[in-house]
Structure 1
Amino acid sequence: MKLDVLSEAVAASTTAPALSVHTHARAPWGLRFGGRRGFGFHVIVDGECLLIRDGAQPIVLRAGDVVLIPAGSPHTLANPATAEPVDPVVVHRVDRITIGGDGEETTLLSGAYRIEQSRRHPLLADLPEVVHLPSSREPRLAAAIALLANEIRSPGPGGDAIVTALVEALLIYILRAWYGTRATGWTAAMADPAIGHSLHRMHAHPAEPWTVDRLAAEIGLARATFTRRFTRLVGEPPLTYLTRWRMITAARLLRHDHAPLATIARQIGYTSEFAFAKAFKREYGIAPGIYRRNHESLADGAWP
């Protein structure tokens, strides 16, 4: 799996640093999350709890488990003694919570990755409503969770910075573990020597005047063969994907870079600001200047 493409897709889709909260709970307890922008996540440090969603069977979560909620949909975590939580607490943004009674203890690290929701990279849009990874599934993910757990159980100097860095890295570990168990879709595309190479080239050099003929020639395939193979693995034709990647890259630059629109247009392969603005509005539904102003006006500390 070519992790350069995975890293670039995540970096381009992230709108702000992740938010997180440590919870120490004793039964009976309940916490209500979600319903706003972002990929919710939970790491079970110690104890057990239930993940409860409307219309779905509860999922039992145990120490070492990690859960990702890509849609950011509303959900509840609660002690496993009952199927329904006792007085759920709606979480916005706090650093630490202590809740519950005097029963069994559970320690959690919860939070959200602030991900562009309107036009996500296909790799991120392809995720299910809930990604549940038991602790034993992937050794490196388990090691990252163990480091987080140690910092939460026994905080030391610089612990907050360590937890922040580990939380940011955790999303990549989760996606590695999830896609690493699959032999289709994006896993197959990035593992394929020819298509993986083409994806890397488009990601690394979005401003290049790529054509299907040029991409096919670089990997020694006929145009028709390359197009069929790319479309089958990636889910869309090469130039459609290239346009999508250029627009995702442009959105990241608009959020994080104050360069003029004409400069951003050139950085992603458009010779005119007008052509870039037209393509961006077709993809995102608003002009690039408005998109930039909208993101500048968002409250940086708001829970997604």
Structure 2
Amino acid sequence: MAAASGCTSAVQPLPTKAAAAVTGTPTPSPEEPALTKAEAGRVFREITLSDDLLRTHSDVPGRLRSAVELVRDGQAAIVAAAYQSTGDRPPRHTWGTPMLLVPRFAPGQTALWFTALVTRDGRPTLLTFAKGGSWQLSSAAELLPDQEPPQVKLDGDGYATALAPDDKTVTISPQFMGPVHAAVAETGSSGVAAGLIASGPYTTEVATQIAALRDSAKKDGFSYDSIFSPENYPVYALRTENGGALIQYSLSRTTTTTAKTAEDDYIPVPEAARWAIRSAVLRRTLRLVETHQYATAVPPLSSPSPAAVIAHDGALTRASGQ
């Protein structure tokens, strides 16, 4: 990926003698963007250091509340589950040096965000931070094995370009990335979105798994369904060198199992959900909600091909039943 790890803006070059002769005065430096790389570096350090401090094992009350204040969107559900499922003993992270991918926002713009490519626990991870009232971590997705991040296009000062939600220069506009992925994860290669996203463990293979589990549940006297939804989380998109986009987004997955005869057919509760449901079995219904975050490389419309999921992270974030 093009180098973007500096935390200060590059020094502007002096004008040539020829340029000075034409203008009579030195060429002015471009106006400073609304979000500088120096500010992005400070935000990354403050949030990751605060997160690590809160994850340090202790009996100090209120750590979950403080931890949730550092995150938003899909990360809010994932972080809350990390604390609740471990008795307030979530695993700590180790961090490398970030490569900052900061969009050039116009002065005065307030909906600011940036991405950091960083080694987390020894694995390359894309983190995206967004500013509402304060800066918070919005998304995190680990690069899949053997995947390389696409080359993000940078200007002369090392700033990236953010794509509009309805950008039509790529094969899947950012605003449609979540719905298209959800459709492929549910229906696989036979659905209307087939071919738009490459097959793999987070797309067509999930659809195959859902179909198999539905058939198995039916034979055992249960009904089973699993639905993906984009929710109302933001989508982040950066222009890549090939004219495509690196798009980051979240999906929720809601899986419901229902017993057709409530008295004798018990529904087993997965071990991963026992932190939320104390019983080992339920009589009537089991509902599991997962939160997943992805990064996908989307080709330019000028060279159409299937988009590829390159990074993922997720967790079981809610469970209920009776």
Above 0.5 in TM-score? Answer: no
More strand as a share of residues? 2
Q: TM-score, normalised by structure 1?
A: 0.27
Q: TM-score, normalised by structure 2?
A: 0.26
Q: Which has the larger radius of gyration?
A: 2
More helix as a share of residues? 1
